[in-house]
Structures are given as C-alpha cells and as structure tokens.
Structure 1
C-alpha cells in the first residue's frame, strides 16, 4: 500500500510539473497568477504529505485541507491560453494526469473524494473496493470471521453471488450464526426470481427455515425480524408477517425498510376482513396498526369482556373518544377481531 501511494505521488508530481512549468515560464498577463501559484503549491504539498503520511490521525485534516484547496483552485478564472510548446507540454501533463486518475481509482479512494456521496453510497463504494482483499483473506485463512467480513461487504454492496459463497462457507464452519443464516436464506429465497428463474418449493422451504432459525437465535436483532417478516409474507402468513415487521420497527424506530410491505399487508387484510377495515379506520392511529399499543394501550392483552368493550367503543372512556355511529355489523366485526387477539394473547 505504501509503495502504491509513493508511486502515485511521484506520477502526480511529474504530471503537475508538466502542466504548470510551461505556464510559469511563458505566462502572459494573469491577475490571478500569484493566488493560483500559492494554491497549486499548497495542493502539491498536501498531496505529497498524504502520500507519505505515517500518522493516520492527521489524515482527515489533511484530506479536508486538500479538498478546500482544490475548490479554491476551481473557483479561479481560467488562466490565459498558451500556444505551441506550452500547449504540447500541457496536453502531455493532462494525459499523465488521466493515468494518475485511473491508477488512483484502482488503488484507493480518498475520503475527501467520497464527501459528495451520502453515507450509504460512500459505504457501498468502500465495500466494493474492499471486496477483492476480503475475498483473498477469507480464502487464504479459511476463518469464520474472515468469511463473515467478506459476506457483509458483498451483501451490503449488492454483490449477492459473492455474499452467498461467503456466508455459505461461514455456516459450514459454524451453523449458528444469525447474520449468515438470515442473509443467506433471503438470498436463496429471492435471488432466483431476480434472474428470471422459479424458486422450487423445497428450496423455498429450506430458505425459510434458515431465516426462521436466525430469528430464533437473535430475536432482538432488527434485521432478523425484518427478513422474517418478508419471508412470512411470501408464504401468505400475513398476520405473523405483520407481527414480525412491527417488531422490527420497535427494535429500529428509524428503519423504513418495512413500510411498503406493511402497507400492502394491511390493505390485503382490510379487503378480506371487515373488522380489520374498521380497526384501521378508527383505532389503529392510537392503539397501533396491529393492536399492540401506541398512544393508547395494547388491545392484545386486555381482559375486558365483549360487552365491556362494546360499551367503551360506543360511549368512550377516559382519553378514548366515543364511536356511537358505528353500524352494528361493523361494531360486531371489530369486536370479533379484538376477541381473536385476546385469545392469541400477543
């Protein structure tokens, strides 16, 4: 790595000299010449220092200063055009600079170059760049941690074929790894369809078993509940899927990955169950989308009788408003849902 950085710095310095030397030697009137030279010198110095840096604690500050210097250079008006030999040397310098850019892209991406990306995009770029080294390390050492690290980078950057290989090898070494189980399971369940193939029933069942086992091993990990919810929904178990997805949102309140599926499941339920349709319209905003509680208490652990619930719904109680205009059929359908939840006890 140090050798690559040193060579990169040397090539960069040569290219800068080829571009800048003729400009200094035959410069016509340029009101920004002094500022341009100062910024260029500062840029060269920062590049050289970054290329030979030993104290990594100083890198973020140096990269920030380099980025600011580049922006200041870009803000200056273009220098007056030169001709003849000057133009030839400048073009040669540009060509070398292009080679430097390609070499830099293949070897490393400095943090300041990632500054324009959002955090997720920056992580994806870094994961992709890290994949070859992570793969070589995993295959060379054969260690569980190395395979997991390779699998994480591959999965998070969308390199799913590599993720399947990495997580599969990790599970051969230790079959009780929740992350490897659930991620391998969801890939085996969904990847064939993305390539135009059909998932065989027995393969789908095996994939679901991996995801369910991961949720049993790590029930407090948000991703376990998220992927379990997706798998349950694919098998038509909407009620259980909704429970898992709501559990995911409890474990990760900022997570938005389940929003569309939750909306779709509720819509399906509301179409087939009139009680759920009434609940979604009148109760869910306070008691939660699945009755688990929100601004109002949970309706799944209540000990109230059917008649007691009827009275509270019609006449209200405490902070709860009354709903006297509910049609008898809608009210009875809603009470059926609440009783069903009570019997389930969760």
Structure 2
C-alpha cells in the first residue's frame, strides 16, 4: 500500500513538472536558418559600425560606396531568408493552464495519497475505524435527510465500527422502527445493551439482560450464516453461563470466517473452565491443543472436526504417531477413550 501510494505521488509530481515546464520549453520554436542568419546579422552590424566610424577624410569617404554596397547586399540576403519562427501565441495561456492543473493535481494528491500513507501506517482495524469516523458526519446527515432504513443502517455501521456507540444506538434504533427484521441492527443493539454496564459502570438489570439476549438470538435466527451473528450469539451465551451452546456458536463463527480470530480468547476461556471437570478436554488441552487449536478447529495441525478417521484409525495415530505428529503411548485407557469420545463428538457436529 505504501509503495503504491509513493509511486502515485511521484507520478503526480512528474506530471506537474511536465505541465509547468513544457510550455516554457516549447515556447521558442527551432530556427533551421539560425546559423546563416546569425552570420549575416553579424556582418550587417560590423558594416554599420564601420560606416558610422568613417572619418571625414577624402580617403575614407572613397570607401563609403563599397561599404554601403556590401551592407545592402547583406540586408538583401537577410530578407531572402525565411522569417524567423515566432513563439506560439498560446504559450502564456498554456503556462497559466499548466499552473492551474498542477495546483489541482497537488490538491488531489494531498487529499488522497497522503491520507493513504497515514492509513497504511495503522493496523487494519485502526485504519477501518478511522475511515468510519471520517464518514460519520456525512452518513448521519444523509440518514436524517432521507429517513431511509438503508441510510440509517449505513450510519449505524460506521458509528459501531468507530466505537461511537451512542450514535450507533440512535441509528440502529431508527432503522428497526422502519424495518424490525434487520439482523445487523438487532444483534448489535443487543450486544450494546448487554455490555452497557461495562461502558457506564451501571449494573445490568435482569430485564435488560433478557431483552439483550432476545435481540441477539433474533438477529442470529434471521441471518444464521453471517459470521458476526454466531460470534455475538456465542458471546451472549457465554455471559449467561451456557458454555456448550456458546462453543457451538463460536465454532460456527470460525467455520463461516476461518480467518476470524475474535473468538479465540473466549473459546480458550470456556475450554479452561470445562477442563476442570472434563477429563477428555483436560487431556486434549495438555496434548493436542497446541497444534490442533483450542477447540479442534486446526492450527499448526489439521482440523480434527473435519477428520474422517475411524475410531480405530484415530487411536492408532494417537498411540503411534504419524508424520509430524508425535506419539502418545503413555495415555492410560480411560484418558485415551475419553479423548476418542471427544474427537468422535466433534466429527459428528463438524464445524458446528
């Protein structure tokens, strides 16, 4: 990004210089008769000077007719040459136009390339937040002018992404008044309500908690294949202590967005809570999670949830190892069976 922006700015500078200098460079056309013209003009000037300097004596005055004849011949030769090319009459206009174009190009570069350099120095999330913040005033004005649900959603998204949650509440609330079946507005209003206590320091009432959960669930039901629906649903379920359902939603989120990392910490925290009471998860966390991910979704090693190994084949790989995977022959029977039960349950649910 930075290299591209630098190249574009250098191109602007080069074009600007060319526009300014080209009229000046081409303002004096070349003269094909420049050399003989210069020689004749030099002879003419020399003859005029000699005539002007002739003393008032008989001998000197006898030379005057010859000098005048030579001067006349020189003038005639000069007149016989084609006229000297004149500078293009539009040179001044071109120069002024070039300066105006250079100003415009410089202004465009200042408002496009320089901000891009600044954005390129930020993390992707920071750059997105900054861009969303810059768009807020225009989006707000447009939504208030048109009153359209789509414009309120655009304003709400920019406000939410830039952490202007007060504006997000207003924008999404207005969007839902116009169309109550807006998944993004529902789930984001729900999560804002659920986390309002953390933002304001106030205790969340049971009624508000239930209302927030309902909004998030409804948003997830309307758009189950949108990654954010499953992410926020998993977060809400975890807040209510429903760890198994939360993990299912979070794993669904990771399936829908394999590059998404927003659920990693929460999944790890839930697994840590479960490890205290679940021997299979305790064995998995100790022996497998570092390569296959905290919940079997893959990491350095492949996803165990997408595995098609039979129980017998999985047992053999665990005990004897395979490829880059080390062997674990020291697992006792109950630990091995518990781990195989866990892997089979993950295979049954797949990415869900």
- TM norm. shorter chain > 0.5: yes
The answer to whether structure 1 residue 275 and structure 2 residue 280 are counterparts is yes
CA contact (8 A) 1:299 1:341 kept: yes
Deviations 1:158-191 (A, max 9, x none): 1101101111111121122221111111101102
Aligned counterpart for 1:124 among listed residues 129, 135, 139? 129
The number of equivalent residue pairs is: 252
* 5+ long unaligned stretches in structure 1: 1-44, 68-109
2:289, 2:166 → 1: CA distance?
Answer: 41
In structure 2, C-alpha distance between the alignment counterparts of 1:297 and 1:124, rounded to whole Å? 32
- Deviation of residue 225 (structure 1)? 2.0
Which one of 266, 269, 272 corresponds to residue 271 of structure 2?
A: 266
Alpha-carbon contact 1:178-1:214 (below 8 Å) kept: yes
Look up the match of 1:149. 154
Is 246-255 or 184-193 further displaced after alignment?
246-255
Alignment of 1:24-63 (within 5 A): 49-50=103-104, 61=109, 63=111
Match of 2:171 among 147, 154, 166: 166
Deviations 1:189-241 (A, max 9, x none): 10233211111222212212222222232233222222122112111122222
CA contact (8 A) 1:278 1:330 kept: yes
Indicate if the aligned counterparts of 1:134 and 1:149 stay in contact, CA closer than 8 A.
Answer: yes
The residue that corresponds to 1:219 in the other structure is: 224
Asked if structure 1 preserves the Cα contact closer than 8 Å seen for 2:319 and 2:328, the reply is yes
Inter-partner Cα distance in structure 2 for 1:219 and 1:225? 7
Counterparts of 1:279 and 1:159, CA distance in 2: 41
Deviations 1:293-338 (A, max 9, x none): 6745645886956x78656644567986543211234234334534
Unmatched 5+ stretches in structure 2: 1-98
Secondary structure at the counterpart of residue 130 of structure 1 = helix
- Asked whether the 8 Å contact 2:304–2:347 carries over to 1, the reply is no
Tell me, yes or no, if structure 1 residue 257 matches structure 2 residue 262: yes
Q: Could you tell me the TM-score, scaled by structure 1's length?
A: 0.60
Q: CA deviation at 1:63?
A: 4.9
Q: Secondary structure at the match of 1:256?
A: coil
TM-score (norm 2): 0.59
Structure (1 or 2) with the larger CA radius of gyration:
2
